[in-house]
Amino acid sequence: MPKDNYENLKEKGKEISTLSSIATLLEWDQETKMPEGGAPFRAEQIETLSSIVHAAKTSDSFKKALEKLIDLKTGEILDDTLDDRKKGALRAFRRTFNQETKLPNHFVKKMAKANSEGIHSWQKARKESRFELFLPHLETIINFHREKADLLRFKDHPYDALIDLYEPEMNVKKLDLLFSELKPFLSKLTQKCKEKKEKKHSFLSASYPIEDQMKFCHFILEKMGVDPKRTRLDTSAHPFCLGFHPTDVRFTTHTSLTSFYTNISAIMHEGGHTLYELGLPAEDYGTPLAEACSMGIHESQSRWWECFIGQSASFCSFIFPYLKQAFPSQLRNVSEEDFYQAINHVSPSFIRILSDEVSYILHIILRYEIEKEFIAGTLKGKDLPKVWNEKMEETLGIIPETDAMGCLQDVHWSCGLIGYFPTYALGNLYAGALFETFQQTYPDWEKTIARGDLSQSLTFLREKIHHFGREHSPQTLIENATGKPLTSAPYISYLKTKY
Amino acid sequence: MPKDNYENLKEKGKEISTLSSIATLLEWDQETKMPEGGAPFRAEQIETLSSIVHAAKTSDSFKKALEKLIDLKTGEILDDTLDDRKKGALRAFRRTFNQETKLPNHFVKKMAKANSEGIHSWQKARKESRFELFLPHLETIINFHREKADLLRFKDHPYDALIDLYEPEMNVKKLDLLFSELKPFLSKLTQKCKEKKEKKHSFLSASYPIEDQMKFCHFILEKMGVDPKRTRLDTSAHPFCLGFHPTDVRFTTHTSLTSFYTNISAIMHEGGHTLYELGLPAEDYGTPLAEACSMGIHESQSRWWECFIGQSASFCSFIFPYLKQAFPSQLRNVSEEDFYQAINHVSPSFIRILSDEVSYILHIILRYEIEKEFIAGTLKGKDLPKVWNEKMEETLGIIPETDAMGCLQDVHWSCGLIGYFPTYALGNLYAGALFETFQQTYPDWEKTIARGDLSQSLTFLREKIHHFGREHSPQTLIENATGKPLTSAPYISYLKTKY
């Protein structure tokens, strides 16, 4: 019997996914294992393989297989006997194909070169806190992204074309609406929390032997349900998670003797990403059904475990006795309440990645506002430090003393990630919406977690999120899961209750 | 200016080498880092990439680039202005191309499947010491190799076609000549050593903490000149070395609390392979000039460091005081002479990989004789255990009690490596020949090594071997390095002097 059209497409997709997964291994190895002298050759390996992956993604034979099932122009599904899941897969296949073919090869190559030069200049600029070293590269990158938006095409705002790459169907109009409610609320709440007098939490920076830290992290991962047979954990400069396939997911943490909780936090964050990758349906590998829905949905999974679960009072009450047992001297005279307060301490920071749950999104909104203006052409690269500091003062009430602590802190722009930042905020909003539904679904959730049973969480996310892959757009996925369209209300109400 | 033909060919070769190096990374990761659940998907990654590598190696565009420079049929070089190095590269390019294109795709696929089934059945058969489980697979593999020899073509003996894949220009006639001298000599010497009464060397199986072992291994690697910036060392079930590029070479060892010297030995062996990979000329990457000459030459490099240097009296005299310092309790009452005798203790073993310098090659000759008969059709798979045990008794005077300790001990046949074993013996003969020249070149070598200065060794191998890559055939390389054709005389005389 000849293969049906969908199976034929899936087979071609599988080759592409498999090759992409090898490129991902090259990245993982680069960040965790590669000897430093191997860097220049690694860049060549990545370039060689990426060009093969790109050729496969845009090949005629793939296009033909796709066109038998969906009209690439209109999106009309040509085989009505397919089930809804497969129809969703086809829409996502089409999305990716159209995106991949809109950017001409020579443009992609030029941009890749600019990004690689951008990272180098940024590293030096940040180290020496000299914005002028990065400025020419920033300007090049902005110009490329303005051109990129034009090539990708957009209806209302050129920035829509960029955010859509990372968060399908998200746009400036929707973001502006979400952020217009969040910004004043978060600013005020941050200010309020700042004014509260709180104990010093010096026990968090006591010395915790790395080996004991890791033993504890493994205990948490086991509780979360991270399967050690399908994952591996390493350390790297910045924690991350990369999945090759639902049977092989790699994640990392960063350890330091005097910041134990940062390690736990990273473990739960990356563990959340890992659970998502593990929960994608392996039987659909090669199709969008086995791919993460979006960067924002991915971030909702990590923040769920890091903040909503990990920083909850019930999880603290479960974990604290074990912590006391593992670290008796470091936690002498520390109560469960002290611990809970310490890990939920709100204090505006210059640095995004060190920020608390309340002020974090303000950092994202600041970057979003700047990116939007870069792409609209209403803000020039040279004015970045000034505008950055003004916005910091306006939203967080603090001004960084150096650009290294300010507009040079993130790698994103230097490597050509414009349009990506909003997904960090969306992750929290998605998680907030999901958490509201979770609380309604499992009214006993706090008691269950306090007992150390995290299975409700995992079951909920597996059913509502993981299993779907890219069948739906992020917003449809959330709407289906929660029964209503996404707003910032659940997240705001979550923070109101907590702080 | 248009690229010249050689540069054009090199560029195509570079893409092939780069893709192959990625396949090598998949292997390395599989043996060292991959979570066990990732195994089935890893097989798919390797298959997908291998078929791309094979397609590139046999592509029309590569063929055309090659044909502009060398006649693929006759081997005549078409551009006489090229220097000798480039001419050597073209001959090696042609060799590989002709080999790759002789085996039809469907045959390679069938064979790959048989090998993969072979390994599985062998693992079970060895574990349970039940030869009959492996037998049908062994017969399939033998038949495939008889067909493979026909497809590759040969002049005198079908086995010539197989050994030639691993050791260019080696053949049955030459091997028979080399082994006919070695076999009686080694048999007699093994017997003689066995009769000597020797002290028990129980200190070698004392308990040496792994961390201290590894500290000591790193000290040795530093002395050998293994660059930590271009290498990484891990542990794995069986030690190995894989090079992606002269700037990124990975090697492993195997550690156990009670076999410290096995670790040192593996470190020096794999360190020798590593130095070879590091010494290949990076500027020629993409051409055979940046590839190891042969498996035999590779093995000469590992055995050089493991045996000729590592087990020499002068290296012992350098290292022993450091060992005493690092392991005072384990080496209490042990003299330098005891240590030297212990690591050079000769005692025939059933197991090839546990064998001493004297009896090791007898294990190889046994396998060679059997393989040759398999391929000639004069020995059937079912008769293997009987013939194996007879030959063990004849050459080593011992008979294994089980097939697991006998004909099932090696993985090679199960995964389709027939024709490979002789390279292990050749490695020792090459090293013996090189070592004779080394001693003449550096008459003070013993004093220098005893001081802990191993640089003469590295300089000698860099100049005589590493730099050439595949410019010459293994035998020409050795002849150029030593000033005479390869015989077994230098190795025999080395052993005579030592034992």
List pLDDT tens digits, range A464-485. 999 999 999 999 999 999 999 9
Please name the residues in contact with A383: beta carbons below 8 A apart, sequence gap of 6 or more. Answer: none
User: Would you tell me the crossing angle of helices A422-441 and A360-376 to the nearest 10 degrees?
Assistant: 140
In the prediction, which pLDDT does A2 show? 61
Average pLDDT over residues B301-319: 98
Q: Is B122 exposed, middle or buried (0-12, 13-18, 19+ CB in 10 A)?
A: buried
B35 in contact with A, Cβ within 8 Å: yes
Residue A199 has a CB neighbour count (10 Å cut-off) of: 10
For residues B95 and B78, what is the distance between their CA atoms, to the nearest angstrom? 16
Average pLDDT over residues B238-253: 97
pLDDT band for A304, please (50, 70, 90 cuts).
very high
Q: Are B495 and B358 in contact (CB under 8 A)?
A: yes
B211 in contact with A, Cβ within 8 Å: no
Task: Give the gap in angstroms from C-alpha B357 to the nearest C-alpha of chain A.
Answer: 33
Out of A25, A41, A247, closest to residue B247 by CB: A41
**Is it the case that residue A392 has pLDDT exceeding 60?**
yes
Residue B325 has a CB neighbour count (10 Å cut-off) of: 9
For residues A160 and A142, what is the distance between their CA atoms, to the nearest angstrom? 15
**Is it the case that residue A218 has pLDDT exceeding 70?**
yes
**Long-range contacts at A188-195 (CB < 8 A, ≥ 24 apart):** A189/A346, A189/A358, A189/A495, A189/A496, A189/A499, A190/A346, A190/A348, A190/A358, A190/A359, A190/A362, A190/A396, A190/A397, A191/A397, A192/A499, A193/A346, A193/A347, A193/A358, A193/A499, A194/A346, A194/A347, A194/A348, A194/A397
pLDDT band for A344, please (50, 70, 90 cuts).
very high
Residues of chain A in contact with residue B243, where contact means CB-CB under 8 angstroms, are: none
**C-beta atoms of A36 and B244 within 8 A:** no
In the prediction, which pLDDT does B116 show? 86
Chain position carrying tokens 């967080």: A396
Q: What mean pLDDT is reported for chain B? A: 96
In the 8-state DSSP scheme, what is residue A309?
I
For residues A320 and A311, what is the distance between their CA atoms, to the nearest angstrom? 12
**Is it the case that residue A308 has pLDDT exceeding 80?**
yes
**Is it the case that residue B160 has pLDDT exceeding 80?**
yes
Task: Tell which A residues from 235 to 294 touch B, by Cβ distance under 8 Å.
Answer: 244-245, 247-248
**Is it the case that residue B2 has pLDDT exceeding 70?**
no
Average pLDDT over residues A406-433: 96
pLDDT band for B197, please (50, 70, 90 cuts).
low
Task: Give the gap in angstroms from C-alpha B60 to the nearest C-alpha of chain A.
Answer: 17
In the prediction, which pLDDT does A197 show? 67
For residues A309 and A496, what is the distance between their CA atoms, to the nearest angstrom? 17
Reported ipTM: the value is: 0.93
Q: Shortest CA distance to A212 belongs to which of A327, A132, A127?
A: A327
Sheet holding B248-253, edge to edge: B231-235, B248-253, B241-245
Out of A34, A41, A248, closest to residue B41 by CB: A248
Per-residue model confidence as pLDDT tens digits over A150-177: 999 999 999 999 999 999 999 999 999 9
A29 in contact with B, Cβ within 8 Å: yes
Coil, strand or helix: which one is A287?
coil
For residues B164 and A234, what is the distance between their CA atoms, to the nearest angstrom? 42
pLDDT band for A109, please (50, 70, 90 cuts).
confident
Residue A439 has a CB neighbour count (10 Å cut-off) of: 14
Residue-wise DSSP of B320-336:
HHHHHHH-TTTTTT--H
Percent of residues, chain B, with pLDDT higher than 70 = 99
Sheet holding A248-253, edge to edge: A231-235, A248-253, A241-245
Per-residue model confidence as pLDDT tens digits over B253-271: 999 999 999 999 999 999 9
Q: Catalytic: which of A147, A167, A169, A270?
A: A270
Please name the residues in contact with B348: beta carbons below 8 A apart, sequence gap of 6 or more. Answer: B190, B194, B355, B359, B362, B396, B397, B398
Residues of chain A in contact with residue B15, where contact means CB-CB under 8 angstroms, are: 48
Q: Is B496 exposed, middle or buried (0-12, 13-18, 19+ CB in 10 A)?
A: exposed
- What pTM was computed for the model? 0.94
Q: What mean pLDDT is reported for chain A? A: 96
Name the strand (E) or helix (H) holding B245: strand B241-245
A43 in contact with B, Cβ within 8 Å: no
B67 catalytic, yes or no? no
Per-residue model confidence as pLDDT tens digits over A368-387: 999 999 999 999 999 999 99
Q: Are B485 and B475 in contact (CB under 8 A)?
A: yes
For residues B471 and B415, what is the distance between their CA atoms, to the nearest angstrom? 29
Out of A40, A42, A247, closest to residue B38 by CB: A247
**C-beta atoms of B247 and A37 within 8 A:** yes
In the prediction, which pLDDT does B198 show? 67
Q: Are A37 and A45 in contact (CB under 8 A)?
A: no
Q: Catalytic: which of B270, B299, B436, B471?
A: B270
Per-residue model confidence as pLDDT tens digits over A52-61: 999 999 999 9
For residues A14 and B35, what is the distance between their CA atoms, to the nearest angstrom? 21
Q: Is A32 exposed, middle or buried (0-12, 13-18, 19+ CB in 10 A)?
A: middle
- From the candidates A18, A21, A248, which should be mutated to test the interface with B, based on the most B CB atoms within 10 A? A248
- From the candidates B29, B36, B234, B283, which should be mutated to test the interface with A, based on the most A CB atoms within 10 A? B29
Q: Are B315 and B309 in contact (CB under 8 A)?
A: yes
Task: Give the gap in angstroms from C-alpha A114 to the nearest C-alpha of chain B.
Answer: 23
Q: Are A387 and A379 in contact (CB under 8 A)?
A: yes
Q: What are phi and psi of A367, to 5 degrees?
A: -65, -40
- From the candidates A14, A41, A232, which should be mutated to test the interface with B, based on the most B CB atoms within 10 A? A41
The structure tokens listed for A400 are 């960084």
Average pLDDT over residues B210-236: 97
**Is it the case that residue A200 has pLDDT exceeding 90?**
no
Task: Tell which B residues from 327 to 386 touch A, by Cβ distance under 8 Å.
Answer: none
Name the strand (E) or helix (H) holding A117: helix A105-128
**C-beta atoms of A248 and B37 within 8 A:** yes
For residues A357 and A347, what is the distance between their CA atoms, to the nearest angstrom? 10
Chain position carrying tokens 């420079």: B69
What is each CA distance from B313 to B317, B320, B337, B449, in whole angstroms? Answer: 6, 10, 9, 9
Which of B398-429 are b and which e, b meaning 16 or more Cβ less than 10 Å from the residue's Cβ?
Answer: bebebbbbbbbbbebbbbbbbbbbbbbbbbbb
In the prediction, which pLDDT does B109 show? 86
In the prediction, which pLDDT does A3 show? 72
In the prediction, which pLDDT does A1 show? 55
Residue-wise DSSP of B9-45:
HHHHHHHHHHHHHHHHHHHHHHHHT--GGGHHHHHHH
How far separated are the first and last CA of chain B, in Å rounded? Answer: 63
For residues B142 and B120, what is the distance between their CA atoms, to the nearest angstrom? 17
Q: Are B421 and B360 in contact (CB under 8 A)?
A: no
Give the number of residues written for chain B.
499
For residues B370 and B206, what is the distance between their CA atoms, to the nearest angstrom? 38
